[in-house]
Amino acid sequence: LYETYTKGGGALMNATTFDALSSARTHGPDLVLPMITSFGAGIMHNTHGLFGPEPTTLGHCGWGGSMAIADQRNGLTCAYVMNRQSNILVGDPRAVRLVEAAYECL
């Protein structure tokens, strides 16, 4: 799904779905996560720069440290899953460092 987003939709994602991901449906204090968030249809927007320097990048963090991002502007999709779970809900430093390293390679 993330790779399809970076390519602008295509056969797997029609324009309506693409717009639903890209457009903010909610923005404000999150009742679960300890921060202000912005979500499209089931996907986080890059409100705090956790998904790299591009503000239009979409992604999601999982409890324990996992993260996936989709940056359409740079054509970058990456995901991180870990062997050791952390207690960080959003923005595990391990995942953030890997995303930063990926952008340094562009």
Q: Which domains does the chain have, with CATH numbers?
A: 2-104 (3.40.710.10)
- Burial degree of 88 (CB within 10 A; 0-12, 13-18, 19+): middle
Entry pTM: 0.86
Residues 7 and 89: their CA atoms lie apart, in Å, by: 29
Q: State CA 68 to chain mean position distance.
A: 5
Provide the residue-wise pLDDT of the chain in tens; the chain has 106 residues.
788 888 887 777 888 888 888 999 999 999 988 889 999 998 999 999 999 999 999 999 988 999 999 999 999 999 999 999 999 888 999 999 999 999 999 9
